[in-house]
Amino acid sequence: MKTLVVYYSRTGNTRQIGEELVAMLGADVEELKDGKNRRGPIGFLKSGMEARRNTPVQLETLTHNPAEYDMVVVGSPIWANGICTPVLTFLTQHKHEIRNAAWFCTSGSINPKYAVRGFAAMEQASGLTPVATLGMGRLHIKREHGAELAAFAAQLDGHS
């Protein structure tokens, strides 16, 4: 099965999980970029306001075509109780090209309800039902999360 992992990461947490999935699945990777400076407290606030308004962004050109993959795994940080605007834009623009999808969300919180809200936003933006989901809070990311990530990867590997 040909798999593409697509993610956006502001602080590196979503990138870490995405890259670990790429290694586990032998997948291709697409890190979404929008050319905006989202660093520090000002970047955090601007990103949150953008997410609350569901403001589309201008993504840099993709290097991979999602239509060429059997599975597209999409990862987003949680911003303002929803998904980040680069992922929202990606899903809106490419929803008709994705055959099978899976979602993962990372959050600065330890409360899993934020990931559930992210999954719902991803479903709404894409019209797709994921074959698997994974939510990870900051404590999961910073501590041992290999077993949880491996179980998620196995769900994807087992899907045909």
The 10s digit of each residue's pLDDT in 53-67 is: 888 899 999 999 999
What is the rounded distance in angstroms from the CA atom of residue 127 to the CA atom of residue 129?
Answer: 7
Q: What's the whole-number average pLDDT of the chain?
A: 91
Nearest to 28 by CA among 79, 71, 91, 90: 71
> pLDDT by residue (tens digit) across 128-152?
999 999 999 887 788 888 889 999 9
Count of other CB atoms within 10 angstroms of residue 151: 11
CATH number for the segment(s) 3-157 = 3.40.50.360
